[in-house]
Amino acid sequence: MSAKKGLHLTLKIWRQKNSKTKGQFETYKISDVSTDSSFLEMLDILNENLINEGKEPIAFDHDCREGICGMCSLYINGRAHGPDTGITTCQLHMRMFKDGETIVIEPWRSAAFPVIKDLMVDRSAFDRVMAAGGFISVNTSGNTLDANAMPVPKEDADKAMDAAACIGCGACVATCKNGSAMLFVGAKVSQYALLPQGRVEAKRRVLNMVKAMDEEGFGNCSNTGACEVECPKGISLENIARMNREYMAALVDQG
């Protein structure tokens, strides 16, 4: 039995030293790539080849490689996380590509996500939005209630869990033509707004998080729904609507 033939690919990859320098696409050839390998494994092979040739490897972000952390974010052939759906880049496999294909690989494109190097971007803007209100203050004086003792309607609990599935990868921002972070912020607001533990600080939370989102330079919602389509965790647009309702209610209450 003959060995399975690997893919021969042309890679057009964005190279940029840092956020202050001008970047450009550089072309690389790679051969005999197994269709069973992941996209990041393919990049590992390319980097090994570059190192062996005495060239600088391509910087790209990754951590768990299990679709949990969201750090592997790449724009591949014009789509966040590549041509498959409901997955992160690390879960993308080379069987999704054809022999002889040209693959264009870019970092996230957003003013709020400046390039660190090559395919790596700084997503600390998300951290600052979270720090503005994406938490619950708990009284630990000894009178803390057991969360399991608080009855929550199953429908609300399910929606809160769905919102909490957001991994903060930034695909919503990269996909939105306005660079909006409203799906991300909507998910973080919703996961608390739907639970009794989150209602105490609900108004302060949404006001602070929306303010932080605007200050970071994210755009407004484009109403096209591309963010939900490309989200690897399928976060619903309903969370944006819920965030808007929470925000308007907080503004009215604020006077």
Q: Report pLDDT digits (tens) over 195-253.
A: 998 999 999 999 999 999 999 999 999 999 999 999 999 999 999 999 999 999 999 99
Within a domain: 153: yes
Q: Determine the average pLDDT of the residues in 68-74.
A: 95
Instruction: Verify that 91 and 192 share a domain, yes or no.
Output: no
CATH number of the structural domain spanning residue 35: 3.10.20.30
CA distances to 17, 161, 191, 204 from 250, rounded to whole Å, are 43, 23, 17, 8
pLDDT band at 150 (very low <50, low <70, confident <90, very high): confident
Residue 224 is assigned to a structural domain of this protein: yes
Whether 1 maps to a domain, the answer reads no
Residues 14-27: what's their mean pLDDT?
Answer: 96
In a domain, 2, yes or no: no
Report the domain count for the chain: 2
The upper half-sphere exposure of residue 63, i.e. CA atoms within 13 Å in the direction of its Cβ, equals: 9
What would the pLDDT profile of 35-45 be if each residue is shown by its tens digit? 999 999 999 99
Whether residue 220 sits in one domain with residue 139 = yes
CATH number at residue 224: 1.10.1060.10
Q: What is the pLDDT of residue 77?
A: 97
249 domain-assigned: yes
pLDDT band at 1 (very low <50, low <70, confident <90, very high): very low
pLDDT digits 0-9 by tens, 78-123: 999 999 999 999 999 999 999 999 999 999 999 999 999 999 999 9
Q: What are phi and psi of 37, to 5 degrees?
A: -80, 155
236 and 128 in one domain?
yes
Q: What percent of the chain has pLDDT over 70?
A: 96
- Both 15 and 68 in a single domain? yes
Based on the fold, state whether residues 111 and 169 are members of the same structural domain. no
The pLDDT assigned to 3 comes to: 55
Same domain, 161 and 244: yes
Residues 127 and 238 in one domain: yes
Whole domain around residue 12: which residue ranges?
A: 7-116
Same domain, 110 and 191: no
> Do 248 and 139 have their domain in common?
yes
Residues 104 and 137 grouped into a single domain: no
Same domain, 127 and 248: yes
Last residue of a domain, one of 116, 135, 170: 116
Distance CA 74, CA 58 (A): 13
Question: Which residues neighbour 148 within 8 Å (Cβ) at sequence distance 6 or greater?
Answer: none
How high is the pLDDT of residue 149? 79
> Per residue in 159-174, pLDDT tens?
999 999 999 999 999 9
Is the entire prediction scored with pTM above 0.75? yes
